[in-house]
Amino acid sequence: MNFLGHAVVAAAQDDAPEFVLGAMLPDLAAMAGFRFREVRAAEPAAGVTLHHRTDAVFHSSRDFVQLARETMAGLTGAGMRRGPARAVAHVGVELMLDGWWVREHGVPGSYRRALDAASDVEPHLVWRGEVEDASLTRGCTRIAELDVAGGYADPAFVAQRLTRIFARRPRLALRGEEPQMVRDWTLDARSAIDASAPRLLREIGEGLGMASWYPPAP
């Protein structure tokens, strides 16, 4: 699950900004190229714990497994190398699910408030290894300014993000016709992902003991 999805799930349990930010924290740190070893504050640490519980349920869910399998088969069938196809099948489905949420429900206020809480959470982070330029606050500010979450509603934006994400990984970097294959996939897969999303969220809720959380209260 991507960071917006984690924010949505977390806010359904507790919309305290530091808790919601903690639920996004592993993804946000990875986006910035950093890793943290510890969070020395109760609320964001509890959010990190929820992040890992949510991912365990999400990655084993029937719909995610099926969507990822179909995506990989389609991309390799179109000629994409297996490594990039597997990566797109995983990350791409996650981003497209975020896009479905934004189109259906908008960008949650709890998500925006969580990004604003970065300066309160950052002093409690212990980074892994020697990190000279790690800044959660700067990263969250940039994500908010670029409206990354809102952009996921547009399949073309998702395709651009995937190309950019994998460009940093030599074995996964898209080349030749592969970026166009990803653009085509975001358009072709949208209806199937949109149809699966409500059922997938309910399955996540059941796995986390939140059986009645979706659809959200008006």
- In tens digits, the chain (218 residues) has pLDDT values of 999 999 999 999 999 999 999 999 999 988 877 788 899 999 999 999 999 999 999 999 999 999 999 999 999 999 999 999 999 999 999 999 999 999 999 999 999 999 999 999 999 998 876 655 568 888 899 999 989 999 999 999 999 999 999 998 999 999 999 999 999 999 999 999 999 999 999 999 999 999 778 887 66
Bin 154: left if φ > 0, else alpha if -120 < ψ < 50, else beta: beta
pTM over 0.75: yes
Note whether residue 213 is domain-resident.
no
Note whether residue 151 is domain-resident.
yes
Note whether residue 212 is domain-resident.
no
> How many whole angstroms separate alpha carbon 210 and alpha carbon 193?
22
Note whether residue 33 is domain-resident.
yes
Number of domains in the chain: 1
Note whether residue 214 is domain-resident.
no
Give the structural domain span for 27.
Answer: 3-203
Q: ∠ CA 168-170-171 to the nearest 5 degrees?
A: 125
Q: pLDDT digits over 7-42, tens only? A: 999 999 999 999 999 999 999 988 877 788 899 999
> How many whole angstroms separate alpha carbon 45 and alpha carbon 43?
5
**How many other CB atoms are there within 10 angstroms of residue 94's CB atom?**
25
> How many whole angstroms separate alpha carbon 111 and alpha carbon 17?
8
> How many whole angstroms separate alpha carbon 58 and alpha carbon 207?
9
Q: Up-side HSE of residue 121: CA atoms within 13 Å toward CB? A: 35
Place of tokens 């209806």: 191
Note whether residue 216 is domain-resident.
no
Note whether residue 177 is domain-resident.
yes
> How many whole angstroms separate alpha carbon 158 and alpha carbon 217?
28
DSSP letters for 184-218: HHHHHHHHHHHHHHHHHHHHHHHHTT-TT-SSPP-
Residues 6+ apart with CB under 8 A from 113: 15, 17, 20
Note whether residue 130 is domain-resident.
yes
